[in-house]
Structure 1
């Protein structure tokens, strides 16, 4: 791995470990464990109680350092990360029927779109275990995209605006991608040597945008090299719920909203087509799917596979091969 991408994860001294940019807290009485206020609501250090509603923490340029201090302090407690992104649609589309596309064709299409466009939002949800309710949710708003000058799919940008994404506010107050990359590298979220597990939904594009951001350059031309970078940055335990749905007896299909409705999973906070809210819903859908379909044999057999880039989709007579890489999310 190139040395410029290996950012040392500096641990703060013990007395600052849970400061997280908040007011200084008094030490606990003797014999009581210290629980930072940001984590107390999630049930760390106390008896199990019904999970309270999750607050989505909005991250802008003015508070990004503070919010990433919270993430760095939280990740050891909550190593399960659900992720979603928002971006301005796709501008390159296949020239042949999706059923005829190979995995390499689909990656090439993804690469050309991601290299040409800009990331708008990153949403991450943190949880303590595969069965735990979400504990913390962050919505990172980026400033790089300007629909007045940058290429985009007009219908996708309009959809985001209709669901509350304020692109003018992003331009004025958002985090620059060049500033977000080193914060991610030092956060403990990436390059964690297997400590962090990732849960996503239809996430080839999501990971592609993050790999591009972390590298600071365009994506590799080879799909194999791209998938290797996903493993380097995000580890082996990456789960794409859209891929896992193929192994639920044909009972689940469609986008995230449809699947959540089928599983009777309600959105915990926020609105659809906003990254943090969708990452929360993705986590709760994963938990419910795991409980209903994978409790006996586990989910390990499905790790490390991104929907749309499955090599077995190239096999003849595979019914799922007709699914395009970009579908309803």
Structure 2
């Protein structure tokens, strides 16, 4: 709350109070820097708060009331003066470079084999006011894995395929001495081959009883996952998207193919527009699940494979842990 001391108005001595929605006093100040009132506050709950602006005493006059942000994010992995910040893959966080040299560190959990994209957006793309952004990706020990200071439209961008699952750290900063706000976004990109014959990308795999997250990146994109099945056993496969909040893909289509690529089953309209397949294997070996959109849609999905109850399996297969 700025008055006469800082040229924010004519009020000689300012007082500022912060209260919650019930009127409880949370913080107050009547003599900040240059005799203006100043409060720093970290909200523990979202909602409506109230600022009470007044004179510290019986004075009168004009003032300027300003709200802003201050840095509550660690500047390094070793910084314990601020609470740890985190980012969830597929989501965004808004932050601010408060002063020259300020760095904000965000922890993020990545999955081995998945491709991720990270964007630090500032003024060039309307993601904030930071004129020139710089982004670094480091492992749990702080080793630099990737960095960028001039992606498209001068925003920073990193594509990264995690070779190991675990915690990584994104360092958001200015490329230089600038300050300002930014939006840090994490997403996915396609690292899976589009057909059985495609050798330009790694093949996906899924174990029975588990799930995999993926993304249809562009119209016509398909993702191929190998799955090992045992003859005589029954399985169910689900490709879930927006309908059940497992992703953003509006209408998933799922195919099951044998080792030679022959189509065995296909479904594009399971419950709630998700794709579902039931299948009893007639031969043991590798089969392929092909995940795509029914049409030209794009978006993320969850692919899952599970056993269905059947009669006792062959003892020769039952003893092999590789067979689900």
State the TM bucket, normalised to the shorter chain: under 0.3
Q: Which has the higher contact order (CA 8 A, sep 6+)?
A: 1
* TM-score where L is the length of structure 1: 0.23
Which has more helix, going by share of residues?
1
* TM-score where L is the length of structure 2: 0.23
Larger of the two Rg values belongs to structure: 2
